[in-house]
Structure 1
Amino acid sequence: MATTAAKWVAPPTRPPLIETLVSGVDRYNPSNVGILEDYLYHQIRSQEYDCLANLAILKLYQFNPDLYNPDVVINILIKALTSAPFPDFSLCISLLDERPASATSTAAAANPDEPDPLPQLLPVLTQLHGLLQQCRFPRFWALYRSAAVEPLRDNYTVECVGFEDAVRDVAVRAVKAAFTSISRERLGSYLDLSGTELNAYIEKLGWTIDASTGVVSVPPNPDNQIESTVVQENIQLPQLTKIIAHAAQTSLPVVPAV
């Protein structure tokens, strides 16, 4: 957990320039927003992720409404989506405030032929995030493949390299934490994979399949191993005497009945 927190604060892939911007007062300098936005699109293309840098963009938009770019916000939310079960998506949402509503008029005035897509896509992204948080992976894939999510798929996630595999990583983390074995069909519904693709994915994970039963064995890890823990209290007599004496001093006096 400590390692995960350290990577969240300072990902090993973060360039020195971005580290300087994120760690100092320059993160509030609106002239640096272009650098941070370029770094976001680098994350989109390279399967890297830096939540702290992306939050800095949203904070700059919050302080400087004229900088608001809905495409950037949507891409930030897409990257945060695959961080589940961590709260990155909620952190991003908390920085939007009334931005979708207030920025719509500004964006419409500047580009009357290009309405702000965020108000339409935000409920969809929020619903997808909720399904991932609840580990309802088959429902997630059904919604993601539906016509309602077509604008998000065709215009945004298609550009996010490795998005679907990142979602599968979320499912794998949940399976590793909850199962020691799982049926091949059930795992396939979680990963939206079947046939040879599913077999190849399971092999890549290093998991094994029982050919006769179709059961996939999940290797032991600290989360899926139940171990009893014995807690032994060692209270010395002088300590017990102090406790009893303190209780006697602080107890309320008995009021005699009238």
Structure 2
Amino acid sequence: MSSATSEWVTPPTRPELIENLVSGVDRYNPSNVSILEDYLYHQIRSQEYDCLANLAILKLYQFNGDLYNPDVVINILVKALTSVPFPDFNLSVALLDDRPPAANLDEPDPLPALLPRLTVLHSLLQQCRFPVFWELYRSDDLESLRDNYTVEVVGFEDAIREVVVRAVKATFQRIRVARLASYLSLDESEVPAYVEKLGWKVDSGVVEIPPNPDNQIESSVVQENIKLPQLTKVISHAISAA
């Protein structure tokens, strides 16, 4: 198991109480949903993230419709956006049943209106269409998402920039400052200081990204060894076929 996968399964910031809930049969106990929801809000305030704990909430909502809280679901999806290219968002959406409006809600459910927009945002990140992502995210159509949800998620925009950095690091050796600025939704003047923290360099308007296993093109040589008896059979077969 790679270190990235290991941290995805068991984040180092996960408390022992949550570890016991997520790893055991207690994750199906509806009386524990408030503990998991409190943990989600801790993640929102602290810039931590625990996908499996959040999926446990959605599973409890599946089994217990009366527990359903649309604000919690939206917060889970917002946090999952920051995990691209991991499959967290799709895993979360897969646990959302088609359900009639919850009778226990005092106000209209915001999820049906926001889910398609969140799905589009996720697709744009997956497709590395970062300038379009920022344009949509900052549009009037998503004002309610920003004002009611992402504003509460500490470091949300920086976490999206980390998604961008992962994609750029895996794709480029050199990229123009102007292009990278559009990907990060930063002014060009802010890019040098930002990439310096990453250990990247800027030279004549171009950002230089250090070599890594993903952005290096290496030729591979495939060598096949054919023994003489095998070659003789091939030649004999070719002669007989002619």
CA distance in 2 between counterparts of 1:46 and 1:197 reads 25
Residues 1:144 and 2:141 aligned together: no
Distance 2:210 2:180 in 1: 15
Whole-Å separation in 2 of the counterparts to 1:80 and 1:62: 18
Larger Rg: 1 or 2? 1
CA contact (8 A) 2:55 2:92 kept: yes
Instruction: Report the equivalent of 1:226.
Output: 217
> Secondary structure of 2:114's partner?
helix
* Residue identity matched to 2:76: I
Instruction: Tell me the secondary structure at the aligned position of residue 220 of structure 2.
Output: coil
Structure 1 partner of 2:122: 129
**TM-score after normalising by structure 1:** 0.86
> 1:206 deviation in Å?
1.4
- Secondary structure in structure 1 of the residue aligned to 2:207: strand
Q: CA deviation at 1:205?
A: 1.3
Aligned-partner Cα distance in 2 for 1:47–1:195: 26
Q: What root-mean-square deviation, in Å, do the aligned CA atoms of Structure 1 and Structure 2 show?
A: 1.8
1:229 Cα deviation after fit? 1.4
Percent of aligned positions that are identical: 72
Task: Evaluate the alpha carbon distance shift between residue 25 and residue 237 of structure 1 in structure 2; reply closer, same or farther with a 3 A threshold.
Answer: farther
Structure 1 runs (4+) greater than 3 angstroms displaced: 233-238
The whole-number CA distance in structure 2 between the counterparts of 1:31 and 1:236 is 68
Instruction: Find the residue that maps to 2:175 and give its secondary structure.
Output: strand
* Alignment check: 8 A CA contact 2:130 2:182 kept: yes
Q: 2:146 aligns with which of 149, 153, 176?
A: 153
**Aligned counterparts of 1:54 and 1:115: Cα–Cα separation in 2:** 23
TM-score (norm: length of structure 2): 0.92
**Partner amino acid, structure 2, of 1:159:** E
- How far 1:183 sits from its partner (Å)? 0.3
The aligned length equals 234
Match of 1:216 in 2: 207
1:105 is displaced (CA, Å) by: 3.9
**Following the alignment from structure 1 to structure 2, what is the Cα–Cα distance between the partners of residues 173 and 31?**
38
